[in-house]
Amino acid sequence: MPEDIAAEQTVLPGGVVRTIAELPGPKGIPILGNARQIQPKQFHRTLEKWARQYNGTYKFRVAKRTFVVVSDRDAIANILRDRPVTFRRSSRTARMLEEAGTRGLFTAEGEEWRRQRKLGMRALTPEVVHRYFPNLVMMTERLLARWNAALAAGRPVDVLRDLKAYTLDVTIGLAMGQDINTLEHEDNPLQRDIEFLFNMVARRLTSPFAYWRLFKMKVDRDADAAHQRIQGAITGFIAQTRARLEQDPSLRTRPSNMLEALVAARDEADSGFSDAEVIGNAITMVFAGEDTTSNTIAWLLHLLSHNPQAAASAGDEAAALMGMDTVVRDLRLLDQFLYTDAATREAMRLKPVAPFMAAEPNVDTVVDGVATPAGTIIFLMLRHAAERSNDFERPEQFDPARWLNDSGAEAASDPGRKLFPFGGGPRFCPGRYLAMAEIKMVMAMIMRNFTLSVKPGAPEVEERFTFTMTPSALPLLLHPRKDVARVASAA
């Protein structure tokens, strides 16, 4: 480790320095520690419960490893700001993701991250998303047509399943240049392999022991095989992309998808990038973009279905901006969906797909007044930090208006700076622009074409944590809006 990094001791807010041993925390049992108190699908809830019990900063233990939990918003902001020098992503998480073939920008650290960042930023510029927008329109129309056909035939609409398929189609289309159409075809082998590998990573992340490094069960061997098939498929996509770039060299400076941008950057003289890094970043894009976006939309629909006044406001906005259009056809129009944007931010506050994240200091440092040795895994309680602050009146209520001023424009003193839905600091999520475009496209389509209600007698929706925080179900009923239905029937 360079001497200048080792010497850099970042002191974060918190006052008197304590040791980890002096922190409060839940009582465990010999050998296992607190392992038996943790249910993987409720891991975030357990951490939040303990955070309320121990006033934000505490420790817990699983086997021989002690973890630190931090809920102070300023401490969290400073940790995010000081990545990747003083802090890094959890090495445990990074290693598991790399084992799944996602070695790229998401897992890179230090100088490798700085190098990979250039590759990632070129692949996810707003210009790339603009050129991909016609595909986004087509896929949104496909989703609407599927739902209209189901409702006309009296079939139930599985909104949660279709949202996941839609975002997977969008993400693979942008990341790999392929329209696999999982929305209408559930038997696509690439989709099956990606979903299988994604679920395997989620299970491993919540496993207390990395058993697969000692021995592999059938499910682990199946995951390795899925990884090999995905790599083979992307290698073929790269060859197709190079052929397109040869036929149309203008795509090297004006790529229409992420893979074209990645391949163009990799093929530049002395780029220093390899096809393996292109593959890793393409897989990373799918992993990072599928569940996060679909679950954000799902949570927003869940909250709107339980808040009819907010849903009506979102519908009125869509009608005013779209007229008789059933989907948004001009990317610039999405910037005018201020209420939808506010509702999305409110959903991210109450139901963030990442209620916490893990960090790890590269050097001995002080975190929220606690002397923290290098290598300690620190859980940053993103949602709980917002709950503890006094920045939101009636914090338990879903109120999109809190993000708007009296004229309906975005608030000048943006409370979004106090939340971290896309991370923060130098490692701010490069896919934010695409994610917000997807969310607004789908929400505009839904609120213009349908009204929402909760399925009668449906059980309460629960939070479940896998790789992200997902709803246990989405018992939602869609009802066609009469004005749009009349126009559609007349056409």
Q: Which residues are annotated as part of the binding site?
A: 429
Return the closest-CA partner of residue 445 out of 351, 307, 353, 333: 333
280 contacts 104 by C-beta, under 8 angstroms: yes
Cα–Cα distance, 111 to 93 (Å, whole number): 19
Task: Tally the C-alpha atoms within 13 A of residue 470's C-alpha that lie toward its C-beta.
Answer: 19
Return the closest-CA partner of residue 254 out of 122, 422, 432, 68: 122
Pairing of β 357-361 and β 58-62:
unpaired
- The first and second tokens of residue 253, run together, are 């400076």
Return the SS3 of 452: strand
C-alpha dihedral sign at 178, 180, 182, 187: negative
Cα–Cα distance, 110 to 122 (Å, whole number): 19
Q: How far is CA 78 from the centre of its chain?
A: 21
Angle at 377 between CA 375 and CA 380, to 5 degrees: 140
Identity of the amino acid at 253: T
Question: Which residues belong to the annotated binding site for heme?
Answer: 429
Pairing of β 87-89 and β 357-361:
antiparallel
87 contacts 79 by C-beta, under 8 angstroms: yes
